[in-house]
Structure 1
Amino acid sequence: MVQAGTIVGDVHVQSAGGVPVPRQLPPVPFGFVGRDEQLAALDATVAPGRGLPSMGPSVALVCGTAGVGKTALVLHWAHRVSGEFPDGQLYVDLRGFGPSRRLDAGEVLAGFLRSLGVPTPEVPEDAAERAALYRSLLAGRRVLVVLDNAGAEDQVRPLLPGSSSCSVVITSRRVLSGLVAAEGAMLVRVGLLHPDDALALLRRCVGPRVDEDLVAAAEVCRDCAGLPLALRVAGQVICCRPSMSLAELAADLADRRARLDVLDSEDDPSTSARAVFSWSYEQLNGQAARAFRLLGTYPGHSFDSYTVAALLDVAPREARRVLDTLARAHLVVETARGRFDMHDLLRAYAGEVAEQQESDIERGAVVRRLFDYYLHTADQADRVLTPHRYRVALDCAARPSPDLADYDSALAWLDAERANISAVFQAQDPVLDRRVWQLAYTMRGYYFLTKQWKDWTQTHELALAATQRTGDRYAEAQTRNNLGLALLEQGHWDLAAEHYDRARELFEAVGDIHGVSNALANRATVLHYRGDLEAALRENERALACYEQSGSDRNVAITLRSMALIEIDLGRFDDAVARLERATASFSDLGLQMDRAMALNCLGEAHHRAGNDAAARRAHEQALMVSNDCGSRFEYARAQHGLGRVAKDQGHDAEAFGHWEEALKHYAALGAPEATQLAEDLAALQRTMIPPQRAGTPG
């Protein structure tokens, strides 16, 4: 029997009642910041006595990826509320992830029992008897139990008290779903730090030097991915090297391949990002481990089950199971329904493991499967968005892809995958050269719709280089035609003209009449922009004749629209309106909604220039509706711009201001050249709307 006033392990026996009160909480890691939402969740969930007598203790399961600060959060909270648990606080690191052997529940119970005053000889040998005695000792007592770094449910279940007077907090890198379902544990997720909190943590580690170079400090926080572990290591690096500036550290971290080396620690593996990540990776099963490695070779960021299916060369259903495993291990995070991501430090570690464990042949095969997936699926999406478009034969193998049967789903897929598709163009694999230009060609319709000029230009420049490596003159001509359009839309007329002229020469050399017609029509647009209107009209007439002869209805309508724009500038408004009405009807029949929106906006401009404001308003209002339905922000802005012009000419300045303000917002978001002039017009309009001051009033 333990006597009052003696010491048992880390426990001082209270002299008043002779009852041992364990105070086992370790100190809070230095520099804890933020986490208000999670702290509030713990306050609401794991309060003493919050559990119901029939349901046992209140339990919280705190989950998050390696190094995200789960233990720091729980210890900060536990120390803050320790006074509400007068009968003690028990703590154990279960070693569920790490280089040391995982603790089993039986040996933890033995330690807890000794801390609760049971002499070593009286600790039962049987694990079940230990658990029963543990529950008996805690019955009716207000004790907080912190089970840190749990690796599995069987480590935890025997350590749960039976009394509702106790509370339990568990931390784990995995979502121990059985505890949520069967034990009623409340799941508290811990994510990466908000940029402001990351900066605050770095400031606590480094001091005022952070505020002397906030730009470099923000770069350090970004390259540490908002991961507290990495930020603390980065702070140690700076503190241990007083002569090193934050800018120098930021430059070291900017090298993605060397980033983990900067954040490494040979002396203490618990503070090494690479080592901490390895403890999570080594517990994965075969297919999940392979998926984690191959995600390190993935050039994009967000991904779904179809992407992972292409990486692994498995069915999407199996890929979904693998993603669930990685998500439960917090090695990927679900950012939206069915879409996942991995922070940059984990991605860098996964890439290292892939280089070590996957052959060059397999890594190359992964990139080709991924490219095939994007090319095949982008083609399916483009056929929905841009029907009746001239198609080129694709070299890709068909891969499982999502159902993109309707316009909205096709556009949503391209929106979600745009950045990833741009990233796969960077693959340096000669085998992909033919597929590179085909993917660029396939994406052109989407780029034209959404006005993603930067992606459009960069992908087509890479595609052009690929066609020149293969010596494919037809592919080069198609790519130059589409690159010229991207440059033309950005106002680079001379560069566009060079590509159009070279495209026409190449099309003529390979005998492609349709391609020659396209080059002529595109060249006509350059002439129009340069002000050579009659020459532009003649070139368009030549192209129109070719399209009509070949039965290319879509190109016929596009050329009619282009000719009408020239005729507007020539003051031939009746001719322009007639062509635009014909083009609009054709686009409607063909189901080409964006082209229809463009033609309606042109029609509104023709009517406005002709002085027919009522017809101009109707055309722009139709364009507004159609562009909104098809997702063209540029044509939506153009319609608002046109409605503002009509309103201003009718003397409705406030209405004009509203339309122009909305137009400018979208122009500016797209980086459209129209934004500059409209901003000036809007400012001038605003000045005229300010009422003049009365004489004698303050200026």
Structure 2
Amino acid sequence: MDFRLLGPVRLQVRGQNVAIGEPRRQAVLAVLLLEAGRTVGVDLLIDRVWGESPPGQVRRSLQAHITRIRRALEQADPGGARVARDPGGYRLVARPEQVDVFRFRRLLREHPTDVSRLSAALELWEGEPLAGLRGDWAERTRRTLRQEYTAAIVAWADAKIRDGDAAATLTRLTELTDENPLQEPAAAALMRALYAVGRGADALTHYERILRALREELGADPGPELAAVHEAVLRHDLPTASAAPAPVPAQLPADVASFTGRADVLAELDRFLADGTGEEPVLVCLTGTAGAGKTATAVHWGHRVRDRFPDGQLYLDLCGYAPGEPMPSSDALAALLSALLPEGTRMPPGQAERAARFRTEVASRRMLVLLDNAATLEQIRPLLPGTHTCAVVVTSRDSLAGLVALHGAHRVDVDRLSEADAADLLRRLIGTRVDTEPEATAELAERCVRLPLTLRLAAELAVSRPATPLSRLVGELRAAQQTLKLLSSGGDQRAAVRAVFSWSLRQLSEDTIRAFALLGRHPAPVFDSYALAALTGHSFDEARAVLDALVRAHLVHPTGDDRYGMHDLLKAYAAEIESDEPAALDRVYGYYLATIAAAMDRLYPAEANRRPSVASPECAMPALDDADSARDWLDAELPTVQALATAGRPEHAVTLSALLFRYLDGHHETAALAVHGHAIKAARAIGDRAAEADALVAAGGLHMQAGRAVSAAADMWAAYALFGEAGNPLGQARALGNVGMIEESAGYYRQAADYYTRALALFHRLGDLTGQAHQLTRLGTVEARIDRREEGYEHLRQAMALHQEAGHRFGEAWVKIGLGELAANEGGLADSCRLHAEAAALFGRLGHRGSEAWAIDGLGRAEALDGRPVDAAAHHRQALDLFRRHGGRDGESWALNGLGEACLACGYPDTAGANHAEALDVATRYGCHEQVARAHRGLARVASDPETVRDHYERAIARYAELGLPAAECTRTELAELSLSC
């Protein structure tokens, strides 16, 4: 039996919660638990639970609560903890280790420097201690426990810093100092952590911030500890020897085994780096023919000088010469930023914004950026840093004259290897046979055009046939090249290279050659064993064996755990091999579609009937046993999915978009735009109106999340019309519901309710329970905002029943938000807090951070109404961070206004005004009209000039009245009362 106080008051038996009852009974139990083993007098119990004005029959109520607590304890664990009656009071008989507060305190007391024990202590916390309990005693106890929690985080952070893992403390310390801006020990710990990871300037900035706060709020200067840390940062006198460096990208591929030659190229690269002026980035372009080893040279040099770039090394294959399209600059920037931005940070939407953010992120960082296989100057121009601290190496088959002329790049030609270097490479790969047959070695090198790629293939063949003289192997190659020369009527270098490829395949079995040829037709640049099994029709184990053979022959190369790629020359050659297997691509697309469908069923089972049905493949599929493994697989295969959307038949692009809609909703904006955009074009190409409309709905949802309301509405209405032409009323219902969401986002709740009602009627007529549940959820929520309380409760009750019947946890969480708003409107603030907290926790488990932000913001509003502005400010700030990271421009304005209101209630009018001003800007820019009014109302409350006050109030009243919201009358009353007081 365990008792939990570091969160909602709970009793747990074998991991299962046992109901305690109403908050007053929870408070009685909490008092007894915190005094476990000691007698608590009846008067003291009454004072702590009921406060200074208890009801007349309070002793009878206390006795009733004690009786029910005893019964709950006895039923949960007979012979376990119990409540004893002592003279003058009650005593809880329980072991200290059964109460989380005592376990927490013991871990801190006995292990004040042990990271693992301190981490275990912090893991005992489940949110706000004594959550839901009200009264002076509960608040005092909470305050004490929060102080202990702060001390625990500081102790844990100090231990992590000492152990060299300062970077792991930054998030938690930043959150703590944001929530407690005047906590000097936390501020000092954050400064130590920032300094330890090389961010001394940020540490000084944080000191200035807390210095201002202390002087403005308390009229005091920092205490000795914080002042000492500040001085130590200024003197560079904090210990950093054991501190781990800040996490940095280290994306260089593995260095090439037996790298040979290129001493002249490496020397030039070294010289360019040493001669850097310090005013602009070092920019070098390695150009040369395919297979000359440009990438290998750049990667090898990168490993040699990586210590010169302690802030990271970025690598990106721009696919400039792959069989498909080169990587767009916007996608390239997204890939680079993904390695630089903190996890969960919202990706800037457009190419210009991404380029600006990339330049900002690498400013002042000493980084190496390797851009491989660039096609054109236009492709790489947005990827160039603007800081002299970076070195950029570009590889390309093109001369990229514009990069030299316009950007001052140094061009270095990577030609064929010299005769000596070619022979040396063969010696390293083959061994002493090279020295015994020097003439055959020299001819072999020439037959391979002295290109590293072909030399390695030839060497692998020689190693696989150790008893065959090199001269005989050269004769075979000579014959193969003569045949190809006759067939191609040419003797150019490309023909010679193709001959080496053809010759190297002879050592392989027919089955392996067939697999190689099929991989040339695989639409994605990277593949795994399952994909090859689908292409070939083999079992998984057979596919693994074939891949092992191809890797040994250097025809494919590993890129990660069961991930493989092919040199673009080899891929192009493989695609040339005749293969009369048109079903191979059908099999591989069938595999991907089926596995995506299975992953989506794991993640969103309640919406399975809304996704297209997909046939089960005959090939092996990865085991996706739970939601986590399903999401991991989708995340890993997302680049492949994008390639599949562009390279397959139009119906494949359409199906991919429909399957992935919910997964991409609110996530992976770049991929979502690509997948849905290709689906729109594909559906138009095949004249599938309903499929085009589905893709338009998905694209419109992306526009809506990004605050592009006009584009979103245009897509939804276009989809509505197409669904009508296709005779698809279910699609029309979806489009109408989404138009309602656009109106809701703008604050036009009555119009939104009308659209939701129309959509609901369509879903009801069609018997679509999932659609009905969604519309009832949104309808009930907007009704809560226009004071239609009875209708709102009824619609949300119906929605909850439908969601629960379908097992749709995502929908259940949204219903809780609506019910939480209704509860807050009626004064049920404890219920409102509970509902919003439950919704936030559920969204968090589902991985929907944007939706989680709405729940947390609602929790902040309820806490503010409940007289807890500090807690409200913390949750509004948390919601704001989530909105900014995961989209939801309208949500930003909600959170900023909530933060402004909480700051004013805490006594910080200037900060409140700044938040409302920012909310006004965001809400105006994205058309969130209710939040425009709310911002004006907030600005009126903090303004000092009477004319400014009146102007903001009148603007708020006018906007609320335009929207038909009850807040208009409340705001008029505020203005009238203010006028009377003046």
Matched, 1:274 2:453: yes
Q: Normalising by the residue count of structure 2, what TM-score does the alignment of the two structures yield?
A: 0.43
CA distance in 1, matches of 2:872, 2:268: 48
Secondary structure of the residue aligned to 1:426 is helix
Matched, 1:285 2:502: no
Per-residue displacement from partner, 1:358-393 (whole Å, max 9, x unpaired)? 56x76x765443322222222223233333434465
Residue of 358, 377, 392 corresponding to 2:595: 377
Please name the residue that 2:563 is paired with.
340
- Greater mean deviation of Cα atoms: 311-320 or 279-288: 279-288
Matched, 1:445 2:512: no
Map 1:414-429; keep pairs closer than 5 Å.
Answer: 414-427=634-647
Per-residue displacement from partner, 1:249-292 (whole Å, max 9, x unpaired)? 96669799954997552645558453355445838734556555
Matched, 1:413 2:480: no
CA contact (8 A) 2:376 2:398 kept: no
Per-residue displacement from partner, 1:312-350 (whole Å, max 9, x unpaired)? 3322221122334456678433634xx3244xxx53243
Say which structure, 1 or 2, has more relative contact order (CA 8 Å, 6+ apart).
Answer: 1
Secondary structure of the residue aligned to 1:511 is coil
Change (3 A) 1:622 1:380: same
Change (3 A) 1:595 1:205: same
Change (3 A) 1:285 1:494: same
Change (3 A) 1:552 1:308: same
CA contact (8 A) 2:417 2:452 kept: no
Instruction: Report the residue type matching 1:595 in the other structure.
Output: G
Please name the residue that 1:491 is paired with.
707
Please name the residue that 2:853 is paired with.
637
Task: Report the count of equivalent residues.
Answer: 482
Please name the residue that 1:89 is paired with.
none
Matched, 1:229 2:292: no
Please name the residue that 1:433 is paired with.
650
Please name the residue that 1:565 is paired with.
781
Residue of 581, 596, 618 corresponding to 2:812: 596
Change (3 A) 1:691 1:386: closer
Please name the residue that 2:275 is paired with.
208
Deviation, 1:444, is 0.8
Secondary structure of the residue aligned to 1:398 is coil
Residue of 380, 386, 390 corresponding to 2:604: 386
CA distance in 2, matches of 1:213, 1:531: 49
Please name the residue that 1:160 is paired with.
none
CA contact (8 A) 2:730 2:763 kept: yes
Change (3 A) 1:219 1:647: farther
Q: Normalising by the residue count of structure 1, what TM-score does the alignment of the two structures yield?
A: 0.58
Deviation, 1:513, is 2.6
Please name the residue that 2:97 is paired with.
none
Instruction: Report the residue type matching 1:285 in the other structure.
Output: L
Matched, 1:622 2:690: no
Map 1:507-526; keep pairs closer than 5 Å.
Answer: 507-526=723-742
Q: Percent identity?
A: 26
Matched, 1:316 2:540: yes
CA distance in 2, matches of 1:249, 1:328: 25
Per-residue displacement from partner, 1:32-60 (whole Å, max 9, x unpaired)? xxxxxxxxxxxxxxxxxxxxxxxxxxxxx
Structure 2 segments unaligned to the other structure (5+ residues): 1-251, 304-369, 381-393, 400-412, 426-449, 461-500, 910-982
CA distance in 2, matches of 1:538, 1:686: 36
CA contact (8 A) 2:255 2:300 kept: no
CA distance in 2, matches of 1:251, 1:663: 42
CA contact (8 A) 1:202 1:210 kept: no
CA contact (8 A) 1:277 1:349 kept: no
CA distance in 2, matches of 1:608, 1:303: 52
Deviation, 1:402, is 2.4
Deviation, 1:559, is 0.5
CA contact (8 A) 1:260 1:274 kept: no
Map 1:658-677; keep pairs closer than 5 Å.
Answer: 658-673=874-889, 676-677=892-893
Residue of 736, 740, 745 corresponding to 1:529: 745
CA distance in 2, matches of 1:523, 1:340: 42
Deviation, 1:618, is 0.8
Change (3 A) 1:248 1:612: closer
CA contact (8 A) 2:784 2:818 kept: no
Secondary structure of the residue aligned to 1:333 is strand
Matched, 1:465 2:465: no
Per-residue displacement from partner, 1:93-129 (whole Å, max 9, x unpaired)? xxxxxxxxxxxxxxxxxxxxxxxxxxxxxxxxxxxxx
Change (3 A) 1:356 1:248: closer
Residue of 773, 797, 802 corresponding to 1:586: 802
Deviation, 1:637, is 3.1
CA contact (8 A) 2:373 2:397 kept: no
Instruction: Report the residue type matching 1:372 in the other structure.
Output: G
Map 1:69-218; keep pairs closer than 5 Å.
Answer: 69-71=256-258, 202-203=269-270, 207-209=274-276, 213-214=280-281, 216=283
CA distance in 2, matches of 1:328, 1:209: 41
CA contact (8 A) 2:706 2:888 kept: yes
Residue of 388, 391, 398 corresponding to 2:617: 398
CA distance in 1, matches of 2:371, 2:598: 46
Please name the residue that 1:481 is paired with.
697
Deviation, 1:458, is 2.3
Secondary structure of the residue aligned to 1:425 is helix
Deviation, 1:554, is 0.9
Deviation, 1:651, is 5.0
Deviation, 1:570, is 1.6
CA distance in 1, matches of 2:843, 2:545: 39
Change (3 A) 1:542 1:200: farther
Deviation, 1:628, is 2.6
CA contact (8 A) 1:637 1:662 kept: yes
Deviation, 1:523, is 2.7
CA contact (8 A) 1:67 1:229 kept: no
Instruction: Report the residue type matching 2:651 in the other structure.
Output: R
Please name the residue that 1:306 is paired with.
530
Please name the residue that 1:503 is paired with.
719
What root-mean-square deviation, in Å, do the aligned CA atoms of Structure 1 and Structure 2 show? Answer: 4.5
Instruction: Report the residue type matching 2:547 in the other structure.
Output: L
CA distance in 1, matches of 2:668, 2:541: 33
CA contact (8 A) 1:477 1:506 kept: yes
Structure 1 segments unaligned to the other structure (5+ residues): 1-64, 74-197, 236-245, 693-699
Secondary structure of the residue aligned to 2:605 is coil
CA contact (8 A) 1:68 1:227 kept: no
Please name the residue that 1:122 is paired with.
none
CA distance in 1, matches of 2:853, 2:820: 13
Deviation, 1:463, is 0.9
Deviation, 1:563, is 0.8
Secondary structure of the residue aligned to 2:624 is coil
Per-residue displacement from partner, 1:619-650 (whole Å, max 9, x unpaired)? 12211222233222222333333333434454
CA distance in 2, matches of 1:590, 1:583: 11
CA contact (8 A) 1:567 1:573 kept: yes
Change (3 A) 1:573 1:211: farther
- Greater mean deviation of Cα atoms: 630-639 or 388-397: 388-397
